[in-house]
Structure 1
Amino acid sequence: MAITIKDIAKKAQVSRTTVSRVLNDSGYVKEETRKKVMDVIKELNYTPSAIARSLSTSKTNTIGIIVPEINNPFFGEIIKGISQIADENNLNIILCNTDDKRDKELKALKLLKEQRIEGIIITPTYAEDHFSSEYLNTLEHIGIPIILLDGYVKYSEFSGIFIDHIKGAYDATRALINAGHKKIAIINGKQNYTITKDRFKGYVKALNENNIIIEDKYVFYGDFDYESSYEITKKILSMEDRPSAIFVTSNMMILGTIKALYEQNINIPKDMAIIGFDKLDLVNILGMNISSVNGPTIEMGKAGMKMLIDKLNNVSQNDEIKRRIIVPELVLKGSEKFIP
């Protein structure tokens, strides 16, 4: 049976208000009485409810995190950065995964509001469709500070930290061009996603600047997952006029591409050069040395958490829009080389 404040008050022979003051360290309580209450709390092994405490203090010291893919190492590192700053500021975290679905995102927003959290850090779904007035209304009228991480919300503006996907894709494609490639395929994500469009813009810009014709036969769209890139890579390898290099626009898709290449004994980069977007530590651990453009994910998480804390502490006005754009770093490890 759970111990309640009423039980403590009865055993300590004080009022429930006195017990509440001791638990929340608020209001005057004689030192003798405080010691008496604390002794009873220890004796009964009582753990105060965070929810009950929040009702009396109007603060939960909890922030919500909403991400689209909890199994993606990209978001794992972002959460790690958020957690480090949250711990330093005695803040708790509630984590929600949406599977990149707008309806689950809406459900998560409503859940977090019910939990009386202090603020939210969210990576909204990248899809430009699947949008609803209910979603936008919930987001804009939730009544607590919101920080976006690497994802915009259509028809609305919030402060946040964002990656320059156009520049990252441009740098990756240009690295392949500088290595000597002229036939460069791109395995991109879902066509209706903002980051897919931005990464394609970077790819096109690099090709245009180097007078390389953009050929539709070298442009592929997957699902930002292992399976789709695996199947697409097999199609690329079966082409009569196949490219000499592939730009793979996500860390999860690079695994599918590598598997397809290895299954057909395609040497990287001798038979096919590849470069990815976002690092994947597993690939490096296995010694594959795959070149990529990498966002500083842990630092992004830290920066997002610091931006939210600033809003919570009114360092900046809550309605002031602050946006920080981060250019990903190009890391070349040899997989981009052209070997005729």
Structure 2
Amino acid sequence: MSTNKKKYFGIRDIAKIAGVSTATVSRVINSPDSTSESIRKKVMAVIEEYNYVPNQMAKNLFSMTSNSIAIFVYDMENPFFTSLVKKLNNIAFKNKYTLLICDTENNIDKEQEYLNYCKSIRTSGIILTEGVNYDLYSSDSQQTIACLDRSADTRFSTVRSDNVKGMKLLIDYLYNLNHRKIAFAGAMDEFQTATERKNSYIKSLKSHNIDVDEEYIFTGHFNYETGVKALNYFWSLNQKPTAIVCANDQIAKGLIMEAYKLNISVPNDLSVVGFDGIVSSYFYPRITTIEQNIKKLAKALFKAITSKSTAPVHEIIDVSIVIGESCKKIELE
């Protein structure tokens, strides 16, 4: 005789074996505190014996949402996003949520497919990072939406680091090292982060009565290759900068590695700073950078998604400067 358990084992089977109603089994699973200890033990014994797993899709149909959150990321190769996803996943797991990682690779068709899937499984919420197409998402969506690194004028909740303060900290630091020829390697203005950091760079220079030279601004992307191109561009100028501010650590890495290939010493010939604080401690020389508090960013995003409040919230997370070995004090000219 076969001893295999039933292939499809449901709540009615548990109720029959335990000698209780299906409503009682449902309460034990979903609201255990509403049942007596003896009933809970009786029902749980059957559940454990038969390895019963509640049908999550069926529960979703009744509740209209599932305990899942999706995060849309356009560049998972960026260490900042990798670190953010890891922190967010830990928080979600501890709170019995599942995190879905939607790596869009800057492809709008792929993004639309991910969005359709999220709607089909009724995710509790969607986190949008920079680089995704915000026009795809409507404010009347069943999912709660929170945005990373977007301005507060959006109809969705937003969480972002204090980019303005971070850039000011870097410029103040370089100024105190007697640097006055300070260049900037950033990304395109379509990114809110890129715009904020560049504008704060300009404003911070002006606060120290340093003229802003358009030749000292290089625009690319938030990646290693931009750092390589920026170094070659700045080193072709007649008036070379003594320091370069990079809009993120990936740009700083590319810039420093290219400097090494060209026998340009960092920091002896050129001071370099970055922004993010993700990889700076694993790189030589250790990059002076702005450290974003990724744990707080992840917590704030999770709270914005799971909060019962219907009104959007806007939170700015503080940053701090981490002094490395990529800068040097110079003589004033």
Alignment RMSD, CA only?
3.4
Give the aligned partner of residue 146 of structure 1. 145
Please name the residue that 1:332 is paired with.
Answer: 323
Cα drift, residue 152 of structure 1 = 4.0
Q: List alignment gaps of at least 5 residues for structure 2.
A: none
Aligned to 2:103: 97
For 2:9 and 2:166, the matched residues in 1 are separated by 56
CA distance in 2, matches of 1:117, 1:131: 18
For residues 36 and 20 of structure 1, the distance between their equivalents in structure 2, rounded to whole angstroms, comes to: 7
1:261-317: per-residue Cα shift (whole Å, max 9, x none)? 111122111101000111133x412442210112101111012212333x24xxxx3
Distance 1:334 1:59 in 2: 49
On the 8 A contact 2:168/2:200 being kept in 1, the answer is yes
Unaligned runs of 5+ in 1: none
Q: What is the aligned partner in structure 2 of residue 305 from structure 1?
A: 302
Taking structure 1 as the reference length, what is the TM-score of the superposition?
Answer: 0.80
Structure 2 partner of 1:177? 175
Q: CA separation in 2, counterparts of 1:102 and 1:59?
A: 25
Query: Whole-Å Cα distance in 2 between the matches of residues 322 and 190 of structure 1?
Result: 27
Q: In 2, Cα distance between the equivalents of 1:270 and 1:90?
A: 51
Q: Is the 8 A contact 1:64 1:119 kept in 2?
A: yes
- Residue identity matched to 2:8: T
Superposed displacement of residue 220, structure 1: 0.4
Q: Which residue of 1 aligns with 2:313?
A: 322
Q: Distance in 1 between matches of 2:30 and 2:161?
A: 43
CA deviation profile, 1:18-54 (whole Å, cap 9, x unmatched): 89848945799xx89x959965x66665544432343
- Give the Cα–Cα distance (whole angstroms) in 2 for the partners of residues 177 and 208 of structure 1: 12
Q: Conserved in 2, the CA contact under 8 Å of 1:150 and 1:162? A: yes
Q: What is the aligned partner in structure 1 of residue 292 from structure 2?
A: 295
Kept in 2: contact 1:81–1:299 (CA 8 A): no
C-alpha contact (below 8 Å) 1:101/1:125 kept by paired residues: no
- Number of aligned positions between the proteins: 323
Say whether the 8 Å CA contact 1:67–1:96 is kept in structure 2. Answer: yes
Q: Deviations over 1:101-149 (max 9, x none)?
A: 55544443332121111222222427xxx664xx2xx331212322222
| 64, 68, 81: which one aligns with 2:70 | 64
Residue 191 of structure 2 corresponds to residue 200 of structure 1: no
Report what 1:4 is aligned to.
8
Residues 1:42 and 1:168: Cα distance change in structure 2 (over 3 Å): closer
Letter in 2 for 1:266: I
Q: Distance in 1 between matches of 2:216 and 2:207?
A: 18
Q: 1:235 to 1:284 in 2, by over 3 A?
A: same
Contact 1:67/1:124 (<8 A) preserved? yes
Mapped to 2, the partners of 1:25 and 1:199 lie a distance apart of 47
